[in-house]
Amino acid sequence: MVWIRLPESSSSCTKRLKGCFAAFFLSLIDDYSIIFNIFTRLNIYSNMKEKLFKFLRFFISKLFLFNFLGAVLLFVLAFFALNMYLKSYTQHGESVTVPNLVGLPADEAVKLIEDGGFNYVIIDTVFDDKVDKGAIAEQNPRGEALVKNGRKIYLIVNSNNDELISMPQFVGYSIRQVYSLAETYGLVVGNLRYVPDIAVNVVIRQMYEGDEIAAGTKIKKGTKIDFVLGLGLSDKTTIVPSLIGMTYKEASNNLLDLYLNTGAVNYDESVKNKRDSINAKVYRQSPGHSTINEVNLGYNVDIWLTADEDILNASQNEADEAEEDNETE
């Protein structure tokens, strides 16, 4: 037997060969693993795709369409039923006219409200000189508004009592200042009487019903206060203006501007309530308007008022003709 001795380098080659075989087998194992994962994922995607197709097929199936149409029909029926109920409950399209209650006595207003099928609530009481005592001053909803039957009408009633204020101090003020302040306090400037005094057109005394009234005295709002004014050291005169067609307030202010007094105030039968008296206009005055004859400051001018438009028109025509005659003379 012959023994062959291999060189030492052949041992290292053997080791390298073993390493190559080991690496080859490991790479095969990795390739199989990748291939396995690919097939696994393909299988998962296939299952998902199949489930998605089944889900989509459900939406076009007779069962789904039947249930969907049934749900839509049920919703439509419920909508129309609810709409009809609400119309019936709220009386949709049905409305009634609210009566105009402002200026009416409270008992008459309440009767109108109840006869009309409304409800009412009195929410406040005020002092209002535009309507009679105990009358309706404001309402909500307003008169002639269209509302549902049974609607609540909110009322504000004018007080039956007089509003009291403290008498202000007018002594020492000019008549123009007095007029402005009196309106602020709710008082009425009454007659003006002039006496010789160095303080021209300045209040010397303030009077109520013929007696001097002190500042701070409680009086009714709307009370007429008379004043004594200084005339100066000479007698002065002024013309009488035309008051035809003016309201009482306008005529009174016009006279005050010329330092004249409003004398007797007369209303004819067309003036039936306080509102009529506010809107009534002068159709006659005494003394009449003149640009020639003058009167002393503080002179009284009587006026007659009416709410009849025919009387006012006739009176205005007469005043215009008289004015033309005066200009001709």
* Sheet-wide strand order for 300-306: 261-267, 300-306, 281-286
pLDDT of residue 305: 96
Instruction: Please name which of 145, 137, 127, 146 lies closest in space to residue 101, comparing C-alpha atoms.
Output: 137
Inside any domain, residue 8: no
121 and 267 both lie in a single domain? no
274 in Cβ contact with 132 (< 8 Å): yes
User: Do both 51 and 114 map to the same domain?
Assistant: no
Mean pLDDT in order along the chain per 10 residues (329 residues)? 45 56 54 53 60 66 75 84 68 75 90 88 87 90 84 91 91 92 91 82 90 91 90 78 92 84 90 89 91 81 94 88 65
Structure confidence at residue 262 (pLDDT): 83
CATH code at 319?
Answer: 3.30.10.20
Residue 172 sits in the same domain as residue 150: no
Give CA separation, 120 vs 111, 158, 304, in Å. Answer: 11, 16, 40
Compute CA 117 distance to the chain's CA centroid, rounded to the nearest angstrom.
26
Same domain? 312 vs 190: yes
Q: Last residue of some domain: 45, 66, 90?
A: 90
pLDDT at 269: 93
Quote the pLDDT of residue 273. Answer: 87
- Domain boundary, last residue among 90, 114, 132: 90
Q: Does 104 share its domain with 75? A: no
Q: Is 172:202 a contact under the CB 8 Å cutoff?
A: yes
Q: Domain boundary residue among 90, 106, 129?
A: 90
Note whether 180 and 126 are same-domain residues: no
Show the domain range for 169.
Answer: 164-328
CA–CA gap between residue 76 and residue 135 (Å, rounded): 53
Chain centre distance of CA 313: 37
| Domain membership flag for residue 178 | yes
Tell me, yes or no, whether 224 and 170 share the same domain.
Answer: yes
Q: Cα–Cα distances in Å, from 41 out to 51, 53, 54, 83, 227?
A: 15, 18, 20, 56, 112
Give the closest residue to 266 by CA, choosing from 242, 248, 288, 290. 248
Could you give the number of structural domains in the chain? 3
For residue 117, count other CB atoms closer than 10 A to its CB.
11
Beta partners for 212? 207
Q: How many Å apart are CA 121 and CA 184, to the nearest integer?
A: 32
- Tell me, yes or no, whether 13 lies in a domain: no
Q: pTM value?
A: 0.48
